[in-house]
Chain A
């Protein structure tokens, strides 16, 4: 196992990046060098330097510290989004596949449509209906992903439903909620978990995009997408304000995707 991991340097780098990202999220004060919300009026728009690694923004705030503190909002929102997607999708898929028949048919046609609607558009509809903020963004992104989860869960449930151990449990007189939770769900969970891992990277991207567009947490809060958006006005003179937070998002997403594919069983 260890040798297999060591033989793939890309994996080690990816794992390190994800580890650091989680550490930033859980203990930002260990990494941040300045306060993320108060700036020095004299230090406006400084370029990157040993003093300010990512430079400073138009209010003299240290950009690196803002990125560090933004990890929690951005990554937690993405995590919540995946959770929303998994819970809703798995529930729909589980019931649809288990009940079968007309219920299954109608449910899956609705799921087809939800999948066909571009997920960004679906998130925008939800945000338009719910209002702005990280929680609405998470629900919007999560609903956009729920369709795929429903489809994968259902296909697994249909496969497991007719397995011998389920039949045996039924013959023994086990009630169906117990069959569902104790036999069907554990045996159909693996592909759902693999998909959830892949969905994290997508969710980080989608959450950052929505926060870039201005639907996330309100201004002083340092959300990654919002940082990129705030730097846009100074692109001609201080490119690093947009480009560095954007590069952080890209690196985290690439690392998360690399790990997720490993979880999914790809070499």
Chain B
């Protein structure tokens, strides 16, 4: 008995350790890439930010500049800054914003809830709509109806969020007056941003989900189930959906990245405070500290979600417990579907 449980412990460790290692690697590498891009591209981050902030009143006195560099953690050599910022970030200290003088961690913590709300709602809307449309295509009797149902939703990727968002605002906020056009105070203000964000995200999810459903539809077990006389709805729920679950969960993990990018535009369209708008404002102010902080937080969230996704494979699909690289392979496959 004891030997049995220790063998199981070894198996779980062999499953877990590479994933935890990968988790740390992605965060470290993202930090490094972002740090290098912000610091190696021509232009001094401090001077750039100060000239945006102060206009002509930019201090040029070397002594004053040195003091400012020390305050914003921009002093020392490139290597010292890289290590210093990295170690500080590990302890949860993301530095001070050059533009506002506030702690970057505080700014992100204040903005995060607003973004999480619309991101989660957008995912929900996108997933539910995808499942409903795919089911409609699955049971559609005519080929043309199925083709239309399957070909229209992917076009959502091509709709610019600033366009769909503004169309929704002019119809539902200014035209009909049902919903607020901007801000975060009114609880109803989450509706339009979530729908806008759901369009591209849902379109990507739909492609992967419907492809998986059609693959399952053509399989032997679905043929058997139908031949047994099960109604289509039961076949869909019990056989097709379960087999489409793996690729769907994989793409959900990847979509966290798309969501993080998408909020930049959506939150600007709807003048909502959140991570995306924080990033855009930081770039407008050339505030390298805030940009680096946001990138780190996004990388951590992305990695945690994908770690959970990797771990969920073992729970959902017993076959994948044995294969160490299953997560990476599946992610690559899901991504290939989207890129085509």
Contact = CB atoms under 8 A, between A and B. Distances in A.
A117 B257 contact: yes
A240 to B, nearest CB: 9
* Interface size class, chain A: 35 or more
A148 B26 CA distance: 17
Interface in B11-69: 25-26, 29-30, 33-34, 37-43, 45, 48
Contact of A250 (B163, B181, B298, B302): B163
A127 B285 CA distance: 11
Given A208-B160, A232-B166, A121 B43 contact: no
B224 interface: no
B33 A117 contact: yes
A215 B286 CA distance: 11
A94 interface: no
Interface string A123-162: 0111111110000000000010000100000000000000
Interface string B288-303: 1001001100110010
Contacts of A225: 162
Contacts of A110: 29, 33
A246 B162 contact: yes
Contact of A235 (B166, B283, B339): B166
A126 B158 contact: no
B268 interface: yes
A214 B284 contact: yes
A118 interface: yes
Contact of B283 (A127, A208, A247): A127
Nearest to A264: B340
A239 B174 contact: yes
A130 B42 contact: yes
Interface string B317-329: 0000000000000
Given A128-B38, A212-B265, A243-B167, A117 B295 contact: yes
B163 A125 contact: no
Contacts of B158: 201, 205, 250, 253-254, 257
A235 B286 contact: no
Contacts of A116: 26, 30, 257, 302
Contacts of A264: 340
B126 interface: no
B308 to A, nearest CB: 16
B239 to A, nearest CB: 29
Interface string B148-165: 000000010011111100
Nearest to B271: A232
Interface string A229-251: 10110011001001100110110
B163 A247 contact: yes
Contacts of A215: 283-284
A25 interface: no
Interface string B235-263: 00000000000000000000001101110
B291 A246 contact: no
B162 A229 contact: yes
B282 interface: yes
Contacts of B48: 131
Q: What's the dominant secondary structure at chain B's contact region?
A: helix
B163 A124 contact: no
B174 A118 contact: no
A37 interface: no
Contacts of A117: 30, 33-34, 257, 295, 299
A214 B42 CA distance: 21
A203 B163 CA distance: 16
Interface in B196-214: none
B34 A125 contact: yes
A126 B29 contact: no
Contacts of A120: 260-262, 264-265
A209 interface: yes
A13 interface: no
Contacts of B41: 126, 129-130
B160 A121 contact: no
Residue among B158, B167, B261 with the highest chain A CB neighbour number at 10 A: B158
A188 interface: no
A201 to B, nearest CB: 6
A119 interface: yes
The 7 closest A-B pairs by CB, nearest first: A120-B261, A246-B163, A129-B41, A118-B261, A113-B29, A118-B257, A239-B170
6 contacts: A117-B299, A121-B294, A148-B339, A198-B339, A243-B163, A250-B160
Interface of B: 25-26, 29-30, 33-34, 37-43, 45, 48, 155, 158-163, 166-167, 169-170, 174, 181, 257-258, 260-262, 264-265, 268-269, 279-280, 282-284, 286-288, 291, 294-295, 298-299, 302, 335, 339-340
Given A116-B26, A128-B288, 18 more contacts: A110-B29, A114-B33, A115-B335, A120-B262, A124-B291, A125-B291, A126-B41, A129-B45, A130-B42, A148-B339, A208-B162, A209-B162, A228-B160, A235-B169, A236-B170, A246-B166, A246-B167, A253-B158
